[in-house]
Copies of this chain bind each other. A is one copy, B any other.
Amino acid sequence: MKRILNKETPQYPDQEVKVAGWVNTRRDHGKIVFIDLRDRTGLLQIVCQPDLVKDVKEEYVLEIEGLIKKRPGNTAKKEMATGEVELQARQVKILAKSAALPFNFIEKDLSLTLPILLDHRPLMIRNPEVKNIFKIGESITESFRKTLKSLDFTEFQSPNIVPLVAEGGADVFHIDYYKYDAYLSQSPQVYKQIMLGAFERVFTITHVYRAEPSVTTRHISEFTSLDAEMAFIDSWKDLMDTCEVIIRNMFADLKLLKVDVPELGREIPRIKMREAQKIILERTGRNNLKEPDLSPEDEQEICLWSKEKYGSDMIFITHYPTLKRPFYTHEDPLDPDYTLSFDVLYRGLEIVTGGQRINDYDKLIKNIKKWGNKIETFSFYLQAFKYGMPPEGGFAFGLERITKQVLNLKNIREASPFPRDMERIDNKLKKGPSTRLRVKKK
């Protein structure tokens, strides 16, 4: 008999079926045992004779054959997708046993701290709420891809081993690369821009790395970047328009998963960073008018303002200072101390960053020198501009940050299945000689 999924069982009343899954709960009622069996589609109530499931405990993996019966009217459970039926077990096969559980991972135990939950990630991933986080992450990624494909963008594979540090200097991981030095990519920027020469519109879904020297709730060392770049733009506003299309589609898709999505109003407001600082001063009395960036506190405040004034949980902040953006960022021709750059803030957190790039070769050369770097260092990258590059720009969405905000998670670590930070890779890190494994059998 072919296994069917739990969610399919209501289609088989009074029929013999085979199901398989994990024992979510077991309740002994004298001559009868109730098991809630969990598979990837949800729960199903199993009714068993005790001798069929004598040694069976929670998280045992079972394959069960039996008869699907409608539950008596008063015992049906409306809140369960299979709540109208139950399986009367005829035969039970144990596919795998489980050790005693360290804690109840199904019900939320508020005494468990995040580090303990992460230590037990391979078990916690089975918790329906935790599992759902990664379904949401998958949906966000798919939606990003779907929108860009519909706009004729080409997806490519951007490398993670890079020869240079494109974004930041200190916060980079060094790799022992044969006899040479290499680094983990902080951004696919260089490669996106190069690929424009063939495809005009490209995107890549890639991992990027930041050796963040501090532990915060919004930074992890390896995260997923949804990165796009487009050429032949008429204006840098095309970039924000495209972002907004992506965001609206993303939330339309999430709505189908019954996620409580943010309000965006008629359009996501766009204001300059300096304007934002003035608004913050007026609202709070905090005078940050001379600061080159918004503080986390400011980011919170300006989102509150956006919500109140425009009914939008998101806002574009534009025109960051030239001094604070990478060398390839396009200056505002009307005010060269500021750039044609933007961030999208979502309930106080930056989830997108983007802008127009310098496409003029001579200007790029000048800027590399102005930033104090050598031209030779960028010779590979510079070819893309030396041989003709149209006006272009791009942006990057941080997957785990969007997931965190959509689900109101407290810590970004919850939004990554296997978060890495300065204290953790899978387990909490310990000092001492590293473990080199034997590969072949002794």
| Residues of chain B lying within 8 A (CB to CB) of residue A22 | 388
Chain B residue, CB-CB nearest to A232: B20
Q: In this complex, what residue of B is CB-closest to A194?
A: B122
| A194 shortest CB reach to chain B, Å | 4
- Segment with Cβ contacts to B, from A159-167, A249-257, A258-266: A159-167
Interface size class of A (residues with CB under 8 A): 35 or more
Cβ of A199: which chain B residues have Cβ within 8 Å of it?
Answer: 40, 131, 134
Give 8 CB contacts A-B under 8 Å.
A40-B200, A95-B232, A122-B381, A125-B195, A134-B198, A175-B184, A322-B441, A371-B440
The verdict on A182 contacting chain B, using a C-beta distance below 8 Å, is: yes
Whether A197 and B122, one on each chain, are in contact in the complex, defined by CB atoms closer than 8 angstroms, is yes
Contact B207 A96 (CB under 8 A): no
A383 to B123, Cβ gap below 8 A? Answer: yes
Q: A96-B385, A158-B418 are in contact. List 13 more A-B contacts (CB 8 A).
A: A23-B388, A39-B200, A40-B152, A98-B388, A99-B387, A122-B194, A122-B380, A131-B199, A159-B207, A161-B173, A163-B427, A371-B439, A372-B438
Interface pair B222/A422, CB less than 8 Å apart: no
Within 8 A of B (CB), among A98-155: 98-99, 101, 119-123, 125-126, 130-131, 134-135, 137-138, 141-142, 152, 154-155
Instruction: Provide the A308-344 mask, 1 if CB < 8 A to any CB of B, else 0.
Output: 0000000000000011101100000000000000000
Known contacts A359-B96, A390-B61; A173/B175 CB under 8 A: yes
Q: Knowing A391-B95, A436-B165 touch, does A126 contact B224 (C-beta < 8 A)?
A: no
Residues in B neighbouring A197, C-beta threshold 8 A = 122-123, 125-126
Decide: A98 near B386, CB < 8 A? Known: A125-B198, A159-B222: yes
Taking the closest CB of chain B, its distance from the CB of A191, in whole angstroms, is 6
Do A418 and B377 touch across chains, with their CB atoms under 8 A apart? no
**A1-23 interface with B by 8 A CB criterion:** 3, 20, 22-23
Least CB distance, A283 to chain B, in whole angstroms: 30
Closest-by-CB residue of B relative to A155 is: B138
Which residues on B sit within 8 Å (CB–CB) of A176?
173-176
**How many whole Å from A155's CB to the nearest CB in chain B?**
5
Q: Are B157 and A426 in contact (CB under 8 A)?
A: no
Task: State which residues 395-425 of A face B: CB under 8 Å.
Answer: 399, 416-418, 420, 422, 425
The answer, yes or no, to whether A274 is at the interface (CB within 8 Å) is no
Contact: A157 with B198, CB < 8 Å? no
